[in-house]
Structure 1
Amino acid sequence: MEEVTALNQRFSVIKDSHKVSGMTCASCAVNLESYLNHVKGVRQVAVNYPNQSVALEYDSGIVSIETLQQKALGIGYTILIGEAKEAQKAFKEIEEKRLDSLKSKLIISAIFSIPVFIMAMFFMGQIPYENWIMMMLSVPALFWSGSEFFVIAWNKLKHFSANMDTLVALSTGTAFVFSVFNTVYPQYFLSRGVSPHVYYESAVIIVTLILLGRFLEEKAKSKTSSAIKKLMDLKPKQVIVIRNGEEKTISFDEILKGELIILKPGDKVSVDGIVKKGKSFIDESMISGEPIPVSKTKGDKVFAGTINQKGSLRIIANKVGNETLLSQIIQLVEQAQASKPAIQKLVDKIAGIFVPIVIGIAILTFFIWYMIGPEPSFTYALLTLITVLIIACPCALGLATPTALMVGIGKGAQQGILIKDAQSLETAFKIDTLILDKTGTITEGKPKVTELVWAEGARVGELKQILLAIESQSEHPIAEAIVQHLKKEDTPIIHTDSFESITGMGAKSSFQQTTFMAGNERLMLVNDIDIPSELSQKAAALKLAAQTVIYFSAKNKVEGVIAVADQVKESSHSAIEQIQQMGIEIYMLTGDNEQTASAIASQVGIENFRANVMPADKGNFVKQLQEDGKTVAMVGDGINDSHALAQSDVGIAMGSGTDIAMESAGITLIHSNLKQIAKAIKLSKATMRTIRQNLFWAFIYNAIAIPIAAGVLYPFNEFLLNPMIAGAAMSLSSTSVLINSLRLRKRSIL
């Protein structure tokens, strides 16, 4: 009986993930996670704020997903359930509406806040009924544009928690209520010898500034899923299959195992399968990262997401849907993104302690002044309570991190370093291990002719024309590199008498009754073509240097050898040396063979490298280093790098790479120059130093200002801080943070 119960429990445990809307800060993720973890039947909850998702493990026999959805809704968050596609669509619509709403609220807040700020700062006492005008202008800015702060603060209060929204709601709400009282009934304080100041400008400007930061954050967050979307776009919407002896166009989702699929030139491969008929070249850079398309003939494997070139193929589907290599890459990227810890911003962590302390100090101050203060004790008690809440406004605290990040990100953009998310900038200075992809990162990413060596006495001018004529008729990517090289040398174009492509070896042609061949060494050996010793030695040296060698013969003798290679970028060696001098260990990973990997690594000064590495292996290697306690940055440019880029602590994409690589990475180097990596690390250090300085001064300000606002100096010199001065001090603290952040623009990161 116990075994049956255990079995039932095993099959009733559900693990799944859902999108979540309504999270506005990192502490929201913590609150939701903590709240759901206490629901009976829930085994584990992992909320990912950057990814806006929740991973759940629960016993469906005790609690349903609908119940969990209702629980989350009760504290202000919406868990989207149902079919994955429908839930994703609904989430996208909600986020788009939220972004539009934030934009509208920001615009309205700015429109109404600016006149209030100008009146309070420059025309105080000069405009009739100015307090009434400012009050009317403040209402839409505070209670329509800033309504979210009050709603969230109330939801937090119901569950005995607090965050930045609580501070914003308390300080702006208190300032507004106090100002309204002084506007409607100024005689109360005037009759007691106290000037009835108003603080409308403080309330509305705080709301506007925080809405601006939230809008920019939401806008960046809306792009986080585009890497997955672009990977999914590699799947064709429709494919041509042969059913019952007839060609039929069907949806990608309808493909069956064992089905015969027709691939036309330019088609995306829809399944993992085996070539049954035809020959072509397939661009497999999304798997291997290598730029040269691979020849495919009968019996060769093909993979979903790769792209057919000029030929036609018929393939048998071995793996379809979620079984394909492309689907596995998508799953790995999703898992890597979800496994990243939510950005626990220091400000949100401290707010949970800071808010109750400030409220406690304000209440304590009120009662102390009311109980033992001089007459009118209630007036003094109320003024000190208001002053404490106003001076403890979180503006400086709230601006400390985002302003430094905004300046740092802007400075990075000027240097050709695009930073997609704050987490990458916050983490980059901690990097101790750097992984570099080879193709397109260390090297240029496309084959080029590096050397063309002719036999002694060869008629070079005539031979170049014939070589150009042969390679112009070939579909091979190396042939294209040779054509481009010869065209740059202004080689005239002629037409040969015949052309024959020899699969896997090269091509044969005739001109004026002479046979010419261009291809690999095997082609020469099969046709008993003589290779002069000097050319043979040269070819051997080129191969050792990891270059592809093409032999060109006339009649039965090799007249020249052409070396083709993916060349190392000029800046790679010096950039790698600079990074190593910073104490960072470097690894090179590539899908290329051992010989090529060794040659490139040696050329740029890298000791640690791995060859024949598949996409999943790259991600696993990153994970292995992380488990060893390393802070890992991954630099890549291809789809095959996307898993590793997402898995790493800091993903860095080359600007010349694929959109998917750039979306999976947190940093993009526009100029595809490895020297930018050192700059990005230095920028991270400078930005984090500025953030720490900002937070230090924000806290020092509060540590000094709050006790003074509470009246700690009154027993010694009868000094009591005026709320107006408190408002000015609050503004000054914010200004100091902004000025310190702007200093970052002048920091050198060269």
Structure 2
Amino acid sequence: MTTTTLEVEGMTCASCAGRVERAAKAVPGVTEASVNLAMKTLRADFSSGADPAALAAAVKKAGYDIGNTDTRLNVEGMTCASCVGRIERALKAWPGVTGAEVNLATGDALVHHLAGSVTPSELAAVVKKAGYEATPVHKTATAPAARHDAEAKRLRASFIWSLVLTLPVFLVVMSEHMIPGAHAFIAATIGERTSWIIQFLLTTAVLAFPGRQFLTHGVPTLLRAAPDMNSLVALGASAAWAYSTVATFAPGLLPPGSVHVYFEAAATICTLILLGRMLEARAKGRAGEAIAHLLSLAPAVAHTRRGGTVIDLPVEELRAGDVIEVRPGERIAADGAVVEGTSYIDRSMLTGEPQPVEAGPGDEAIGGTVNGQGALALRVTRTGDDATLARIIRMVSDAQGAKLPIQALVDRITLWFVPAVMAVALLTVLAWLVFGPAPVLGHALVAGVSVLIIACPCAMGLATPTSIMVGTGRGAELGLLFRKGDALQRLEAARVIAFDKTGTLTLGHPTLVEFTTAPGANLNETLTLVAAAEARSEHPIARAILAETEGRGLALPEASDAAARPGLGLLATVEGRRLAIGTSRLMEAEGINTTPLAERAKTLAAEGKTTVLAAIDGKIAAVLAVTDPPKDSAASAIAALHKAGVKTALITGDSRATAERVAATLGIDHVVAEVLPEGKLAAIEELRAAHGPTAFVGDGINDAPALAAADVGLAIGTGTDVAIETADLVLMSGDPQGVASALELSRATMRNIRQNLGWAFGYNVVLIPVAAGVLYPFGGPLLSPMLAAGAMAASSVIVVSNALRLRRYGRRT
């Protein structure tokens, strides 16, 4: 199964999005396709028999274009023209690539491909597979905000030209209605017919140039019996222009009393809708600022040690193992481990943590964060698409492109919306022709055009994806990474949030407070063997044991045959002796008699301490006790969840006494203790059956199954990669308060989506009948096409502007 994301040009409303989705799904081999109208992207999953080129062809056949882009690579190892040909053939054969030119003299390869279908790293890998080394040339990535800004500039130019051409037409017509004697003055000076000819010329220029985009996009889709928003505008403006043109040059073809022109309606419709789309593009650009901000965090160059000197190297050319220098106040160029120096690193832009974190030799530093006052040297550990910042950008982009379940209703409605509007417009015209007052034809035209123009599928199509873009983007700024956009809706529905204990609610840095040996055992010898076995483990208890041995100055031998038993403990061999370290269940499984230390272990557990048993060569040797205090914000996080009406639970493999002590301290409602990973799954199922949708928060490898099984999985960002990759949402800072913040953000986003949908649907339900003239027989207004155009343009702007309010979430006003 392969997933690709393509940029689609020409989509303007939800009908367009539905048409593109249906065209993509009709391609053999495509299993799933979804369109994000706000980001103008198509995301498709496909198997054999389909590729990006087939998708592009299907989308193009449906009347839309796939954006094309170029990627430049630096290629090493070329020596002759045959090398050039070999690389070009390899690149051109890759799905989504439309062309490639390789320059032997400069060592460059310029690759043309469908935007979003392939990454620079993948293209470099293609060249490498052909036998050469390739590195993407640094180029500032185009964020959604930048694309929308470019679109806004283009629309601004079109709007200005349309406004300049429309203003004289508008002023002439309005003056005739609003200034006494203006109509007679125009008739006496240039004449009514000359005035109409001038209006014809200016309106024709509006439709032929700035308004041409409505015709070039709307007419072809109309001819294919697949009308969209452009079709409605094209029909409405063209109908007003055509009727007025006949009235100007062949008035005898019209019934007596109906000779009138509506050039101002046709021109003003185009101008107002261009204004609305320009404002909408600007607003959508602000909606995508989160990606632009994340992209701006990446430095362009790194101070790299090469051959005894330090050179400024483009970050794309960094490799794992390179040593880079970071000066005070600079952004860190890549993920790495500190090898020299000590400093404080500001990670707030990625994690939301307000306080800088101390970093010294051996500590990890994340690319894109800001170094403090100390100078550092880092050994690069991750680059390119594997870097933390790149992964975060990818997570945010994926989440912003997701389609929520609530969108399914919108899709079903918009599938028939535009054809239904056209049918209503036709019925409106017929009704006015049969029942309307004189001039019948004029009234019928005004009402029909108004219905076409006032309908706004754009607002319906933007209601959900724009809120998702802003909500997930704001979450990223706060260190809340929604890896899957639909987690927004699922988290809002959660009625229970269950937590793992160690490292999630507690600091995850236990301290060894007791090490009691069995009768006849030597304390230092036993501690040395246990620590040697635990040296290969990443478990927090292992770190507590190792810290104790370091404090005693004990040298550790090498362990072998180490095997972790998830939820139970660890087995290992040290200096020929077999060790078993873990829970009482591990001892039972290994057939070890724990009687000599059973009472002491029971007493320690009753005190709320975590107990670990150690056996050597099948005999109990020691009992260890560690304490792991709760995080400072854990109690307030639980209280915030309770205030939000959510129940809480603690699910842990630790002893019941320890778990209940932590739960009592924090105010947690329900405790499930002493469970293996599969036991956590069962606990989640029980909570779901008893209370409803359940979320789970964890950080370890043994939490991965529970994270996957829960309705929403939330991973602590300071936890393991397995947990992070399994979760729907990542809390970058590791602060449990982020759970309450994420729940509140999800509720705010879903509330915003419902407001948008309520406005979009309510607007159409109320105003389409008004535009049709249902109020006219009762003394109400007959809506002008110009007012209809203004209302339609305002509808989309209102929806996007409402979504932008989410950018203020979590900020003090």
Given candidates 655, 664, 683, the residue that maps to 2:717 is 655
Unaligned runs of 5+ in 2: 9-13, 36-41, 63-90, 98-112, 120-140, 170-197, 252-258, 292-402, 518-522, 561-570, 576-580, 585-595, 615-620
Aligned to 1:672: 734
Aligned to 2:751: 689
Deviation, 1:362, is: 0.6
Instruction: Check whether the contact 2:499–2:697 (CA below 8 A) recurs between aligned residues.
Output: yes
Deviation, 1:599, is: 6.1
Deviation, 1:359, is: 1.7
Instruction: Check whether the contact 2:456–2:792 (CA below 8 A) recurs between aligned residues.
Output: yes
Deviation, 1:392, is: 0.9
Please give the alpha-carbon distance, in whole angstroms, between the structure 1 residues aligned to 2:4 and 2:681: 26
Given candidates 231, 235, 238, the residue that maps to 1:174 is 235
Aligned to 1:13: none
Deviation, 1:98, is: 9.1
1:115 equivalent in alignment to 2:115: no
Given candidates 111, 116, 121, the residue that maps to 1:96 is 116
Aligned to 2:500: 437
Q: CA 1:31/1:748 → structure 2, altered by over 3 Å: closer, same or farther? A: same
- Corresponding letter in the other structure for 1:654: I
Instruction: Check whether the contact 1:142–1:207 (CA below 8 A) recurs between aligned residues.
Output: no
Deviation, 1:705, is: 1.9
Deviation, 1:578, is: 4.0
Q: CA 1:479/1:620 → structure 2, altered by over 3 Å: closer, same or farther? A: closer
Please give the alpha-carbon distance, in whole angstroms, between the structure 1 residues aligned to 2:262 and 2:19: 42
Aligned to 2:341: none
- Corresponding letter in the other structure for 2:210: S
In the TM superposition, 1:439-478 aligns within 5 A as 439-445=502-508, 447-451=509-513, 475=535
Aligned to 1:425: 488
Q: CA 1:505/1:105 → structure 2, altered by over 3 Å: closer, same or farther? A: closer
Aligned to 1:351: 414
Q: Which secondary structure state, in structure 2, belongs to the residue aligned with residue 138 of structure 1?
A: coil
Instruction: Check whether the contact 2:605–2:611 (CA below 8 A) recurs between aligned residues.
Output: yes
Q: Deviations over 1:628-683 (max 9, x none)?
A: 78322222234554454344332322222345544543333232222222232233
1:545 equivalent in alignment to 2:608: yes
Deviation, 1:710, is: 1.6
Provide TM-score, normalisation by structure 2.
Answer: 0.51
Q: Deviations over 1:129-175 (max 9, x none)?
A: 8757755653686578xx5x8877877x46xxxxxxx5423334335
Aligned to 1:400: 463
Given candidates 196, 210, 224, the residue that maps to 2:264 is 196
Please give the alpha-carbon distance, in whole angstroms, between the structure 2 residues aligned to 1:603 and 1:704: 55
Q: Which secondary structure state, in structure 2, belongs to the residue aligned with residue 732 of structure 1?
A: helix
- Corresponding letter in the other structure for 1:675: Q
**Cα RMSD, aligned residues only:** 6.1
Aligned residue pair count:
538
Aligned to 1:294: none
Please give the alpha-carbon distance, in whole angstroms, between the structure 2 residues aligned to 1:211 and 1:424: 26
Deviation, 1:389, is: 1.1
Q: CA 1:387/1:639 → structure 2, altered by over 3 Å: closer, same or farther? A: farther
Q: CA 1:27/1:622 → structure 2, altered by over 3 Å: closer, same or farther? A: farther
Unaligned runs of 5+ in 1: 1-16, 57-63, 78-85, 159-165, 222-339, 456-462, 509-518, 523-532, 552-557
Q: Which secondary structure state, in structure 2, belongs to the residue aligned with residue 656 of structure 1?
A: coil
In the TM superposition, 1:447-526 aligns within 5 A as 447-451=509-513, 475=535, 481=544
Given candidates 613, 638, 658, the residue that maps to 1:576 is 638
Instruction: Check whether the contact 1:27–1:344 (CA below 8 A) recurs between aligned residues.
Output: no
Deviation, 1:179, is: 7.9
Provide TM-score, normalisation by structure 1.
Answer: 0.54
In the TM superposition, 1:221-240 aligns within 5 A as none
Instruction: Check whether the contact 1:109–1:142 (CA below 8 A) recurs between aligned residues.
Output: no
Please give the alpha-carbon distance, in whole angstroms, between the structure 2 residues aligned to 1:625 and 1:688: 24
Instruction: Check whether the contact 1:116–1:200 (CA below 8 A) recurs between aligned residues.
Output: no
In the TM superposition, 1:361-400 aligns within 5 A as 361-373=424-436, 377-400=440-463
Q: Which secondary structure state, in structure 2, belongs to the residue aligned with residue 428 of structure 1?
A: helix
- Corresponding letter in the other structure for 1:668: V
Please give the alpha-carbon distance, in whole angstroms, between the structure 1 residues aligned to 2:690 and 2:56: 36
Q: Deviations over 1:250-292 (max 9, x none)?
A: xxxxxxxxxxxxxxxxxxxxxxxxxxxxxxxxxxxxxxxxxxx
Please give the alpha-carbon distance, in whole angstroms, between the structure 2 residues aligned to 1:521 and 1:665: 27
Q: CA 1:452/1:443 → structure 2, altered by over 3 Å: closer, same or farther? A: same
Instruction: Check whether the contact 2:404–2:485 (CA below 8 A) recurs between aligned residues.
Output: no
Q: Deviations over 1:159-202 (max 9, x none)?
A: xxxxxxx5423334335645876999994699725443313344
Please give the alpha-carbon distance, in whole angstroms, between the structure 2 residues aligned to 1:218 and 1:154: 34
Please give the alpha-carbon distance, in whole angstroms, between the structure 2 residues aligned to 1:215 and 1:737: 14
- Corresponding letter in the other structure for 1:652: L
Deviation, 1:391, is: 0.7
- Corresponding letter in the other structure for 1:357: A
Aligned to 1:698: 760
Please give the alpha-carbon distance, in whole angstroms, between the structure 2 residues aligned to 1:357 and 1:587: 50
Please give the alpha-carbon distance, in whole angstroms, between the structure 2 residues aligned to 1:576 and 1:675: 8
Q: Which secondary structure state, in structure 2, belongs to the residue aligned with residue 651 of structure 1?
A: strand
Identity %: 28
Please give the alpha-carbon distance, in whole angstroms, between the structure 2 residues aligned to 1:627 and 1:641: 20
- Corresponding letter in the other structure for 2:788: A
Please give the alpha-carbon distance, in whole angstroms, between the structure 1 residues aligned to 2:516 and 2:680: 41
Q: Deviations over 1:414-433 (max 9, x none)?
A: 54433344422223222113
Please give the alpha-carbon distance, in whole angstroms, between the structure 2 residues aligned to 1:407 and 1:130: 40
Deviation, 1:390, is: 0.9
Q: Which secondary structure state, in structure 2, belongs to the residue aligned with residue 695 of structure 1?
A: helix
Q: Which secondary structure state, in structure 2, belongs to the residue aligned with residue 451 of structure 1?
A: strand
- Corresponding letter in the other structure for 1:676: G
Q: Which secondary structure state, in structure 2, belongs to the residue aligned with residue 635 of structure 1?
A: strand
- Corresponding letter in the other structure for 2:738: Q
Please give the alpha-carbon distance, in whole angstroms, between the structure 2 residues aligned to 1:448 and 1:375: 88
- Corresponding letter in the other structure for 2:158: V
Given candidates 699, 715, 718, the residue that maps to 1:637 is 699
Instruction: Check whether the contact 1:572–1:675 (CA below 8 A) recurs between aligned residues.
Output: yes
